[in-house]
Amino acid sequence: MIANHSAGLGLKPAHYEEAHAAPADGLWLEVHPENYMVEGGPRLAWLETIRARHPLSLHGVGLSLAAAAEPDRDHLRRLAVLVDRFEPALVSEHLAWSTWRGSYRPDLLPIPRTAESLARLADNIDRTQCALGRRIAVENPSHYLRIAGHEHTEIEFLAELARRTGCGLLLDVNNVFVSGRNLGFAAADYIDAFPGEHVDEIHLAGHSADPQLGEALLIDSHDAPIAPAVWRLYERLIARIGPRPSLIERDENLPSFDALLSERRQAQAILTAPARQAA
Amino acid sequence: MTDPGHGSAGLREFQDGFAQALFGGGPDGALRPEIASLVAQSGFAVYRNTVMKGCIDALQANFPAVSRLVGDEWFRAAAAIFVRDNLPRRASLLDYGGEFPDFLGAFEPARALPYLVPVARVDRHWTQAHCAAEEPTLDAQLVAAVPPQELGRAVLTPHASARWAWHSEVPIRTIWERNRAAEAPAGVSTTDAPELDWRAEGVLLTRPGGSVEWIPVAAGECAFLDVCARGGTLAEAAQRALEAKVDVDLARLMARLLGAGAFTRLDLGS
């Protein structure tokens, strides 16, 4: 169980020992289940050790929910094994595709948001929730392209998926900021319109400017501290919808565990600000 | 539940086109118009770069000794060529690159480096040992308790984590070990180190205490393990070991392999 006012950290092998030793003051940890889809060995042993002390979230990147095909059965089976074994408090995936015709591309690829893709996603989320025997949350990805043929806004699309399948939503505030900049919409408007009642989890991460194009193209690189503008959007969101489990994501250019704990404290302060206690 | 193929033509075509465009386009480089309009945007390169970087990073993580031997630039250039024809088949990248040693074997620029493919295979063995299923390790006492007259019919099953390799021309264990260690200074051309004794070598990797360990092994020990892996009896395994090396000390051989945690069970023939 993860309390709404608890902030968590993405967990990397380099931080196993410190994460395990960290005070269990509501600290929860999130991993990509794909990094634990092995038969045995030290990775699973570490996760077991850490899970005995801290709540866990499984944040998938490889289920390819938005592909025009059913989720890969072997992948779904492996995910179910991990869910059964580690009993995570949260399980999430993305509004994106990656595996297609038997090959996996390590990225979160976009789709046109049509009636057809909506039906496909709803079906795939339904299959996933049935296979896992639990609700999952679906995350808004970062966008880099203007795609012709959208029939729905992303918010309409996500809200409809939640309505049809009973899934939760994972709102990545940094992805909203990055997408807003890249596609030319106001991130604050998106944050204000997002259906708070479906939000199971929030993500916060750093981004970087494209090496060639600079600030005109932001990359959701998870390789830097969370930007001040993203913190402001987060505060705005929490002020409106109330506290939700919030995660600091960092995948590249990994800082010390203490530096991540410091960002976690910053999120924690926003979640537990006196004005929010009643929320 | 809907039929998996029902009504998915539009999304399917989009994904076929997008997937092709990530690596340049169709056989003739042609792209469907709606995909061409995406590729023309500067943001498309983000997907191309992320997919390629994710695959190359995973390969580099899985073949650290190879990467150290050839250097970062050479490795990533070779990996980029490999990735184009060998996208991961699973979304878990921990064991990505099963075909990479064979790719290196056929890769012209690697021809001058005869040790590269054997080292790549040992890197691969490490990954397999690291991710293998949990199994009990066979206690040497259990083997010692078997009456000598029954030992020949006994079958020893290698532990799920046990991997071994023998190379008759390359000091495979020494080169791999020196380049695998994370603390070894970068940029040292290990194969030029004067103390390297260019001779046949073998290595056995196991996971006896939870993490991967390795010991040097001789030709006889590898031959012995080969027989065990295909379910042969101890008598056959001993025979092969003697063929590989006439004066092999079988008692010592078994003690070493058992001590390394190379076996999970012992079955006595009926």
pLDDT in tens, A54-111: 999 999 999 999 999 999 999 999 999 999 999 999 999 999 999 999 999 999 999 9
What's the token pair of residue A258?
């203490």
Residue-wise pLDDT for A134-161, tens only, equals 999 999 999 999 999 999 999 999 999 9
Q: How confident is the model at residue B217 (pLDDT cuts 50, 70, 90)?
A: very high
Instruction: Please give the sequence-ordered ranges of beta strands (E in DSSP) within A2-86, or none if there are none.
Output: 7-10, 28-31, 56-59
A116 touches chain B (CB under 8 A): yes
Supply the Cα-derived Rg of chain B in whole angstroms. 24
pLDDT of residue B6: 38
Neighbours of A79 (CB within 10 A): 27
Q: What is the CATH number of the domain that holds A249?
A: 3.20.20.150
- Count contacts between A and B (CB, < 8 Å): 144
In a domain, A17, yes or no: no
The runs of H, that is alpha helices, within chain B are 9-21, 33-39, 44-62, 64-70, 72-85, 100-105, 116-131, 140-144, 148-151, 172-180, 219-229, 234-244, 250-259
- Contact call for A39 and B131, based on CB within 8 A: yes
Taking the Cβ of residue A14 and every Cβ of chain B, the question of whether any pair is shorter than 8 Å is answered with no
- The pair of three-digit structure tokens given for residue B144, joined into one six-digit string: 């010692």
Residues 189-248 in B contacting A (C-alpha not used; CB under 8 Å): 207, 210-211
Chain A residues 15-54 within an 8 A CB cutoff of chain B: 34-35, 37-43, 45
In a domain, A211, yes or no: yes
> How far is residue B114's CA from residue B79's CA, in Å, rounded to a whole number?
18
- By Cβ distance, the residue of A103, A147, A149 closest to B89 is A103
Tell me the two tokens of residue B124: 């691969």
**Residue A205 within a domain:** yes
What pLDDT digit, counting tens, does each position of A8-63 carry?
999 999 999 999 999 988 999 999 999 999 999 999 999 999 999 999 999 999 99
Do A120 and B16 make contact, defined as CB atoms within 8 angstroms?
Answer: no
Domain-located, residue A238: yes
Q: Does A119 touch chain B (CB under 8 A)?
A: yes
Residue of B nearest to A99 (CA): B91
In chain A, whose CA is at the least distance from the CA of B91? A62
**Shortest distance, CA A5 to any CA of chain B (angstroms):** 32
Is residue A7 in some structural domain?
no
Average pLDDT over residues B156-161: 98
Domain that holds residue A47: 24-273
> Are the beta carbons of A116 and B50 separated by less than 8 Å?
no
Residue type, A47: L
Tell me the mean pLDDT in the region A119-134: 98
Residue B59, min C-alpha distance to chain A (Å): 12
pLDDT tens by residue, A223-242: 999 999 999 999 999 999 99
SS (HEC) of B20-42 = HHCCCCCCCCCCCHHHHHHHCCC
Q: Count structural domains, chain A.
A: 1
- Mean pLDDT confidence for A118-129: 98
d(CA A44, CA A2) in angstroms, rounded, equals 22
pLDDT band at residue B31 under the 50/70/90 scheme: confident
Judged against a pLDDT cut of 70, whether residue A180 lies above it is answered with: yes
Distance from CA of A207 to the nearest CA of B (A): 13
- Predicted local confidence at residue B192, as pLDDT: 52
CB contact at 8 A, A137 and A170: yes
Interface probe for A, chosen from B20, B42, B55 (most Cβ of A below 10 Å), is B42
CB spacing of B8 vs A120 below 8 angstroms: yes
CB within 8 Å: B207 and A39: no
Partners of A254 on chain B (C-beta within 8 Å) are none
